[in-house]
Structure formats: structure tokens, C-alpha cells
Structure 1
């Protein structure tokens, strides 16, 4: 096989649209050109306030790229990837061309099967600890995509992260434009994009260690506090160029799919990444020369449901 066809494009796009994005804005498009599948940013769906730099678009784009790669590999038609192949076309994030046909690996099959099941779980998790072997799988998943994943161990590290994250959350809550933009992506009922109110976390309470976005204003059930000592992970890359952020998105998605495949739950904490001063403080607290790109809360939780996505037809370009 030397080229991808329309069926391959639709198969890859159907998996790619299941990627996460800030406020489920789904800022991507896909097209078939000269037998290659291309992933593009959709500037019309870039969040003007929350993502003025395009960081979140590139993280989401990277996650979509990883899903497309896995879908193609699981079908026996793995792709060779080039990121940002044409600098004259800045919205073109990646080009996937057919590599040599081969049977998929067990990991590719398992992670591709996890794509439709993966979702953010913003509810309190159970206190059961994540076992060491699962933790190691997550670290290796990030490393497989040229990222790194630091697991914060002990209350000293957790408390330091929580202070940074809560401070960043307060900055964003005071930003009227940010809050108004988030409200436009919050829906009372099911919709093909945005966040459903029921998918949001319960109202924050003083004892909560970590911040949660205020998608909803409902109280939690009695006895359903958030876990007192959560497993928090920080994912990052060696640099912070646009290409690094596309790499980060792929590493993030491989970690999230590994979480799902391991029977774990996860929610993302992006507030300390969105606020530049908090991000730099987080980097220094980790002792890393690279840049943090996302923080994650990982554990065992009550299964939820994936959010809606737009139809494949709506994300294809000529």
C-alpha cells in the first residue's frame, strides 16, 4: 500500500475526534491530500481568552494525532509521521503517510480499543492506591512519545503542587472574560461539543486539596469528599516550541489511554499550565529543565460516560 484512501481517512478521523481538548472545543480538521492523511488546527475553534497562544490547540491536536496513528496501526496500516511539515501552512499540524504494512502490536490493539472508552472523570475517586506496576506503565507511556511524567509522592510534594494549582485557579476565576468564555462551552444538555453540566465536578468545598473547574453548581453527596492524598502526575517535554506541544499532546493521550486500559480514572488539571507564572513555579518545583504541559489526577473511580463529539463529516476538509 502506497497511499491512504477515503476509508482510511474516515477511520483515522473517527478515532482522532475522541481526543480531549480544552472545554471539549475540538479544534481540529482532517483531510486526504496526495494519499496522505493530514491533521489541521481549526482556528475558528481556538479559545480566544483561554488559549490566546494556541498551546491548547496544539495539545489537543497532538492527542488527535496519536489516536489517528493508533487506529491506523491497529488496522495494519501504520503511519509515518511528520509534524508541522509545511511552515507555509501554519495550521497544518501533521502529515501521516503509509508505512510498511505489518500486524499491530498488542499495545497498539489495547490502546486503540481504549479510545472510545477514555473520558475525564471529575468526580471524587476511591482511596485505593494506584499500584506500582500501573504507575510504571504510565511513566513508560509518556516516555514512548518523547515526554516525561513525574508522579508526585508524599504530602510535601502534593501540598506544594496544590498551592500552585489553587493560586492559578484563583487567577482564572477572577478573569471575567475567561469565565464568560467557559460558560459559552458549558451546556445543560448533551451537545456535540463543550462540557455538559453533569460531567462537571461538584461544587468546591474548603477541604478540597485540588481545584476543579466550576462547570456545575451542585453539591456533592454526603461522604463523597475528594481523596485526601490523590495521585498527581505532571507531564512535560524537553522544550516548549509548537512542535514540543504537539509531542506533549501525543504523550498525554498515550498516558490517558494507558490509564483507561489499566482500569483507572483520570482528570486533567490545566490551571497551573494556563497561568504563566504558575507554570514557571511548577517547573522550578519539579527541578526540571523541560516544561510542564499538563497535570493529571489519577485513581480509581466510579465509571462515567465519554462526552459527545461532532460527526466525522463535520471535521473533514477538502
Structure 2
């Protein structure tokens, strides 16, 4: 990339990466690393394969989605700070861990639509609480679908029949996971139960973010507690007809995953600004034999990449983040 002339202090670089790492990732594993080159004002985004999940994500598809969500936050933060982020995906075929480069190419273009999303970066939290039955207006749904299209993905709001199909697939995946010790062990490795563990956590899902155990309803909310006892955790009635959206791409290669992850985060940030609570559902997508049936056969979507649960209700709590100095290197 050509030299941009933009000079950033360490404090600004750190702040931009801190914004990037507010992104969601599977089990809050935060599987990313960043390298900043002051010589040409380029951020490099790497996959941290030490944080991969061999059972739930053997192809690292979900890992790519999480890293791409962080990439999108970096783009938004850069635009908010006044710079135009120029992005290249998979810039080095010899190093598949290098997922993207972002060059700060001078002042933000007037037509840049990223900066308005910035206030949602630190407001967006996964909510595992019940949502109300209030229907999301069609105009809001259309705007969210448009947000996905900007990033090269499709967001479809399935009809009632297809929603039930997705819920059945989630239930099937959860039933299979319950019989596989490896699945339970991997999930347990990324949960933080007990005041000491939860308060000291830098990653994973702390017990205060589990949400209540479902007493009734069909919302596809992963129960991170599993068989563990969580003192003080209550129960609640969840929505009987959850409002779901399926995010997908025409292809299913690493570059498609990176586009999907950016689209996912754009949709989540826009939904947050629109007053919606959000959560992600990937159980059925973690199994190839189930994943292909998640997509809507009547849509142009080739491959389902994520299922989003949207609605009106309480936002979830913030979850822990690794210190920036653990994920950022400056040349």
C-alpha cells in the first residue's frame, strides 16, 4: 500500500484497537491480533489460532466471523476519528493468518457511512434475556437487510415456517452436543463461573452474562451453564415466536466469511442504534449436516453464516475484554 502521510500516536492506535475489540466472537474467545505499521499507517488483522475451537468450529469459519467483526469496528472507529479506512482482505496468500489490512488514507470521504455507527460499538452487547412480542417494523428490517448488502452479504427475515425449521435445527444441535463430552468440555473451557472467576475474566462468557434459564418459550439462546450450578440464577419466560434473521453469502470460502463477519457487525450496530436488543445463534451452523438446511431455499442465499435473534428487550451486560497490549503490536 502507498504511504498515506497519516501519523498516529500510540494512544490513538491503542484507542482504535480497543474499539475494534469490542466486537462479538464465539464464546467471547476474542481470536484476533493486530499489528500497526507506523511507516505507512497500516493496521494488519491476524487470526489467533491458539483461540480456535476444534469441536464447534473445525474449519475456523466462526473465528473468521469474529475477526471480521473486529475489522469492521476498526473501520468504523477510524472513520469516526476522521480517516478513510481502505481495506484489503487476505492480502498475502502465503500467510492465511493475515486476514486483512486497513490503511488510513487521509480524511474521511464525505459519503462515508461508517462514522454514524460509532456510538453503537460500546453499547452493543449480546442479550440472553427475554424479548417482548413487539414486532420489528418492516422499515427497520429493510434497513438492516440493506446494511448487510453494503458488506456483500444478504440478511433474510424468514417466514414462520422457516423460523420453526431453524428452531428445530437448533434443538437438534443442542441435543447432539449434550451427548458429546468434547462439546461440553469445550464450552466449559470458555465459561467463567463464580464471583472470583467472573470478576477476573479477560475472555470467555462470565456467569453474569448467561441470562436466566428458560422456563418457557422457544428463543434459541445457548445455555452456557450446561450442567453447572450458578448461584442466584433465575428462570424466565422467553418469547414464544422469536424474531430471527439469517445472514448468508453466495460463497463459503475465507473471504466470504470475512465479508459475512463485517456484515454481521454492521447489522448489529445498526440494530443497536435502532433500539433493538440482539443475540447470535450458531448452534445449528456448527454442524455441516444441519447447516445446509438453515438457509431459506426460496432466497438467493448460498450459505448461511449466522442466525440473529432480534427484538425489543434489555441489553445484555458487557463482557470482559483482553487488555489491548495483549492483542496489539506496533512495529
TM-score surpassing 0.5?
Answer: yes
Unaligned runs of 5+ in 2: none
Which segment is superposed worse, 244-253 or 95-104? 95-104
Matched residue, 1:62: 68
Pairing partner for 1:158 from 160, 163, 171: 163
Q: Per the alignment, in what secondary structure is the counterpart of residue 237 of structure 2?
A: coil
Pairing partner for 1:27 from 19, 25, 31: 31
Q: 1:212, 1:248 → 2: CA distance? A: 21
* Alpha-carbon contact 2:79-2:112 (below 8 Å) kept: no
Unaligned runs of 5+ in 1: none
- Is 1:109 equivalent to 2:118 in the alignment? no
Matched residue, 1:295: 307
- Displacement of 1:203 after TM fit? 2.5
Q: 1:50, 1:132 → 2: CA distance? A: 34
Q: 1:127, 1:31 → 2: CA distance? A: 44
Distance of aligned partners of 1:306 and 1:104 in 2 relative to their CA distance in 1, 3 Å threshold: farther
* Alpha-carbon contact 2:162-2:296 (below 8 Å) kept: no
Q: 1:200, 1:266 → 2: CA distance? A: 14
Q: 1:62, 1:38 → 2: CA distance? A: 12
Distance of aligned partners of 1:225 and 1:107 in 2 relative to their CA distance in 1, 3 Å threshold: farther
Q: 1:104, 1:310 → 2: CA distance? A: 34
Matched residue, 1:212: 221
- Displacement of 1:150 after TM fit? 0.5
Measured against aligned partners, the alpha-carbon deviations of 1:65-124 in whole angstroms (never above 9, x if no partner) come to 100000001111111100010011111010111224136668433311110111100111
Q: 1:211, 1:114 → 2: CA distance? A: 24
Distance of aligned partners of 1:271 and 1:285 in 2 relative to their CA distance in 1, 3 Å threshold: farther
When normalised by structure 2's length, the TM-score is 0.89
Where do residues 115-264 of structure 1 align in structure 2 (5 Å cutoff)?
115-153=121-159, 155-188=160-193, 189-190=198-199, 191-205=201-215, 207-216=216-225, 220-221=234-235, 224-264=236-276
Measured against aligned partners, the alpha-carbon deviations of 1:30-89 in whole angstroms (never above 9, x if no partner) come to 011342110111111112322221111100111011000000011111111000100111
Measured against aligned partners, the alpha-carbon deviations of 1:195-219 in whole angstroms (never above 9, x if no partner) come to 01121133244x4324332213566
Q: Per the alignment, in what secondary structure is the counterpart of residue 57 of structure 2?
A: coil
Matched residue, 2:51: 45
Which segment is superposed worse, 210-219 or 258-267? 210-219
* Alpha-carbon contact 2:279-2:309 (below 8 Å) kept: yes
When normalised by structure 1's length, the TM-score is 0.92
Q: 1:56, 1:118 → 2: CA distance? A: 19
Q: 1:302, 1:274 → 2: CA distance? A: 27
* Alpha-carbon contact 1:46-1:54 (below 8 Å) kept: yes
Matched residue, 2:318: 306
Q: CA RMSD in A?
A: 1.9
Q: 1:280, 1:4 → 2: CA distance? A: 46
* Alpha-carbon contact 1:128-1:299 (below 8 Å) kept: yes
- Displacement of 1:9 after TM fit? 2.9
Q: 2:284, 2:9 → 1: CA distance? A: 40
- Displacement of 1:127 after TM fit? 1.5
Q: 1:162, 1:273 → 2: CA distance? A: 12
